Amino acid sequence: MNTRTGHIGAFPLEAMKNNSVRRIVLAGIAVIALMTYVGGKVQIMRLGYQINDLEKKKQELERSNRALQIEASSLSTPARIEEIAVKRLGMVRPPKENIVVVKRRSAATGTAPADRVQRPDDRVPNSR
């Protein structure tokens, strides 16, 4: 006949110890999970703010880029360019005697064609 030996009274104490450890572990896991969750949330929020700030900055830069483009456009008005050319750079229109008209010799006849030959498209340019 087999019999059990040992301290019967030690069983409940050990069980209680084990339970506490388990609770502490579980609580630790819960705290870590909570901290991870909260940390993640905080990180998301922080990134959200960062995105928001960067979006705003991007919009501002786009606006200022557009404003600069328009400023460049205003600075390139023909009136201003002409004024700088004439007044600041001292440019003048070439006098008649300095103009040389060059006509290409026609390949077939060897004579100069009557009309212009430089621009294949005869219409007023409309290029973009």
Partner 1 sequence: MERQRSILVVLVLAGLGFLAVALRLVHLQVIERGDLTRRAERQQEQVLRLEPKRGTIYDRRGRELAVSLDTESVYGVPSEVDDPRSLATRLARVLSQNPAELQRKLASERQFVWISRKADPESAEKAREMNPDAIGLKFEARRFYPKKTLAGTLLGFTNVDNKGIEGVELLFDRELRGEEGWIVAEKDAKGRTVFPGGHGLQYRLPQPGKDLYLTIDEVIQHIAEKELDRGIAEHRARGGVCIVMDPRTGEILALSARSTVRGGQVFNPNSPQRHRPEEWRNRAVTDSFEPGSIFKAITAAAALEERVAHPQERFDCSAGNIRVADRVIKDSHRNGVLTFTDVISQSSNVGTIKIAQRLGKARLAKYIDAFGFGKKTGVDLPGEIAGMVKDHRLWSGVSLASISIGQEIGVTPIQMAAAYSVIANGGELRRPTIVSEIRGPNLSQENRSPEVPAGRVISPETSATLRKILQKVVDSGTGQKAKPAGYTAAGKTGTAQKIDQRTGTYSRDDYVTSFAGFVPAAAPKLVIVVMVDSPVGEAWGSSVAAPVFRAVAEQSLTYLQVPPDDVGGRMLLVAR
Q: Which residues of the shown chain bind partner 1 in the complex (CB under 8 A)? A: 63, 66-67, 70-71, 73-74, 77-79, 82, 96-97, 99-105, 112, 115-119, 123-128
Task: State in angstroms the smallest separation of the CB of 125 from partner 1.
Answer: 7
Q: How far is the CB of 34 from partner 1 (least distance, A)?
A: 25
Q: Tokens standing for 38?
A: 């909260």
- d(C-alpha 87, C-alpha 83), whole Å: 6
Element (H, E) at 19: helix 11-75
**Strand (E) or helix (H) holding 85:** none
Residue 4, helix vs strand vs coil: coil
Closest distance between partner 1 and the C-beta of residue 121, in Å? 12
Dihedrals φ, ψ of 124, to 5°?
Answer: -65, 130
Nearer residue to partner 1 within complex by CB, 5 or 127: 127
Closer residue to partner 1, CB minimum distance, 5 or 126: 126
Q: How far is the CB of 22 from partner 1 (least distance, A)?
A: 41
Instruction: Output 23 or 103, the one with its CB closest to partner 1.
Output: 103
Distance CA 31, CA 51 (A): 29
Q: Which is nearer to partner 1, 5 or 118 (CB)?
A: 118
Query: Greatest CA separation found in the chain?
Result: 138
